[in-house]
Amino acid sequence: MIKLDMVTKVYPDGTEAVKNVSFEIGQGELCVLLGPSGCGKTTTMKMINRLIPITGGTIYIDGVDTAKMDENALRRDIGYAIQQIGLFPNMTVGRNIETVPELKGWPENKRRQRGEELLKLMGMDSGEFIGKYPRELSGGQSQRVGVARALGGDPPILLMDEPFGAIDPITRVRLQDEFLKIQQTLKKTIIFVTHDIYEAIKLGDRIALMKEGELVQYDTPADLLYNPKNEFVENFVGADRALKGLQLIRVKDVVKASPPTVKSGEKTEIVRERMERAGINWLAVVNGDGNFLGGVGKADLGKGDSVGDVMSPSAETATANTVLNEVFSLMLSHGLDNLPIVDKDNRLQGVISFDTIRKALVELTQRGKTG
Amino acid sequence: MRHYVILISLLVLLLGLTVWITSLDWIKEGVYRPFAWGDIANCTKAHLEMVVIAELIAIAIGVPLGILVTRPVFRKLTTPIIGGANVGQSIPSLAVIAIMAPILGFGLQSAIVALVIYGLLPVLRNSYTGISNIDPAIVEAARGMGMSRRQIARKIELPLALPVIMTGIRVSTVITVGTAELAVLVGGAGLGRITLAGVYTMQPLTILQGAAPTAALAIILGFILARVEGGMTSRGLKVKAEMA
Ligand SMILES: Nc1ncnc2c1ncn2[C@@H]1O[C@H](COP(=O)(O)OP(=O)(O)O)[C@@H](O)[C@H]1O
Ligand SMILES: [Mg+2]
């Protein structure tokens, strides 16, 4: 657990970068430091591993005042990843990742094993990459290696300063998704700096919103969106905060029941009866193994004898882990009223509709207002 | 490849010239003979000795001093030292050598001191830029991971600056080979003796007999040091960036 108590930083030139900031980060939590450029996020973060000397207040890690620790020992137990990455160009990817293990004096075979393990965790082929040099990597690969290096010594705490900031949007989203998945298994205590509200909402368990060196609001993403403390927060999250909330909900949070389906071999007349009885006008079509094939609307049933003849095959699907804003955007851009949810083997898990999304959003907004 | 062809042709030309002049019976019939092989060998040896001694001293002073002024504690010294060295180099080499004689007297010591002063700047400046041009993010990452200042210097900064430092040493060495021609003016030895004799007697061939081996020496030393530089450079700095 990390605790900041009245933390203050006045630079030698008199700039008051951080003013009396106090908050706590629980074990295994991902805390995002959010705010406009120059508000003191980086300064706050670097005071935790003492890259920037604190000028007032105290930072505790597991109850111990960090000022009393040996600074190099402190840093070896805190992973550190920055936007500029700063990989060592004279060392291979493997040696880069083994930096902290080497400093900690791990035996060589354990270091090597750690390097391979982390590359695999980052979705990189260790055989291919472990012997490469940083200059042979693409931006996305370098960023992954940077994160792997930060995790090298298996630190309980991770500091990340806009680690995905300098990457193209598509790669960034992919890295964020991968990173979330990794965090679900690793459960590190993470301080993550960003000025991007979308990234903050997507990744953060809690968000510390800063303004001109002060902490304005420290809350969960939902509370920040729907319970803004003041006008600054309201403006910062933006008028489209309702839509931003879709980012907080995943398909698995709202789609529970397995959906009614039809087999492609069934007769259309029988299906029409079923639809009328159940009061629905769309059904997902599956094969004998439960694999998703497409959808069939009531209006199409008259066009043929069997479902297979009249169904429209669909390529657009989502998984249980997809966030609702992606679902919403898929449905809008492909003109769909229903989006099938499949697992990794393309087996149908459920169906999500506009109505489900609307209900989920209303519920989230209400929860924010009352809680 | 083309680089090597030019280098080797030049070397063959210079050495061929030396051999041809030395093998002549007369440079001026009945008046001047060419210097003998023994003289050329002795002068080359003396020349090389001067250069090596001066260069070793320049490295011993320039590299540590150049690195030292990049350290935060010595930041205040950066401008005077690097600036001073720059001014030093802007003084013509002949003047530096001429100034040394009245101060230190005639002899080898004056020549070497002058060569050190003159050869110091490239070593000093490249050591300084080699270290200070390292991407600050690299050093910050190293600090953030808990490397001590010493470990950062040894494992990161020195290997990254080494190619630049080695270039400084190479440039300095090549310059010093040329400057050492003038050492004879303050009582030093070297191939300058032959060149100067040619100047006094106004015999172009005698001048060439001293100048050609000097140029060849500069080319050979430059080539060797370039190879050493390549060998000492980390493989990670030589790989080409892959387009991805
Ligand atoms: N070394 C420094 N000396 C003086 N002022 C600084 C220094 N570093 C940052 N600042 C100032 O402190 C404030 C906070 O900076 P920073 O923590 O980098 O902000 P952020 O990461 O939120 O963009 C800014 O006004 C910045 O100009
Ligand atoms: Mg910053």
Residue A91 lies in a domain: yes
Q: Taking CA atoms, what residue in A is nearest to B158?
A: A90
Atom of ligand 1 nearest to the CA of A46: 17
Of the candidates A75, A85, A92, the beta carbon closest to that of B146 is on: A75
DSSP tag of B25:
S
Total tally of structural domains belonging to chain A = 2
String of DSSP letters for A273-332 = HHHHHHT-SEEEEE-TT-BEEEEEEGGGGGG-SBHHHH-EE----B-TT-BHHHHHHHHH
* B242 with A137: Cβ contact below 8 A: yes
In chain B, the percentage of residues whose pLDDT exceeds 90 is 70
Residues A119 and A200 in one domain: yes
Q: Which of A209, A244, A279 is the last residue of a domain?
A: A244
3-state secondary structure A91-128: CCHHHHHCHHHHHCCCCHHHHHHHHHHHHHHCCCCHHH
Residues A109 and A180 in one domain: yes
In chain B, the percentage of residues whose pLDDT exceeds 70 is 98
Q: What are the boundaries of each domain within chain B?
A: 2-234
* Chain B contact probe: residue of A50, A99, A141 with most B CBs at under 10 A: A99
Residues A216 and A265 in one domain: no
Q: Mean pLDDT, chain B, as a whole number?
A: 91
Residue A12 lies in a domain: yes
Residues A85 and A176 in one domain: yes
pLDDT tens track for B82-130 = 888 888 778 888 888 888 888 888 888 888 998 998 899 999 999 999 9
Q: What is the pTM of this model?
A: 0.84
Least confident of A120-129, A272-281, B41-50: A272-281
Residues A212 and A274 in one domain: no
Residues A141 and A58 in one domain: yes
Q: Is the pLDDT of residue B10 over 90?
A: yes
CATH number at A135 reads 3.40.50.300
Residues A352 and A212 in one domain: no
Residues A259 and A240 in one domain: no
Q: Is the pLDDT of residue A299 over 90?
A: no
pLDDT tens track for B202-231 = 999 999 999 999 999 999 999 999 999 999
CATH of region B2-234 = 1.10.3720.10
Atom of ligand 1 nearest to the CA of A33: 22
Residues A278 and A213 in one domain: no
* A85 with B137: Cβ contact below 8 A: yes
CA distance B225 to B221: 6
Residue A114 lies in a domain: yes
Q: Which of A226, A244, A262 is the last residue of a domain?
A: A244
Helices (H), A151-230: 169-186, 197-203, 221-226
Question: Can you give the pLDDT at residue A369?
Answer: 56
pLDDT tens track for B155-168 = 999 999 999 999 99
Q: Which domain does A308 fall in, by range?
A: 252-362
CA distance A74 to A80: 12
Least confident of A34-48, A347-361, B68-82, B94-108: B94-108
Asked if A88 reaches chain B (Cβ–Cβ under 8 Å), the answer is yes
Question: Can you give the pLDDT at residue B82?
Answer: 86
Q: Is the pLDDT of residue A291 over 50?
A: yes
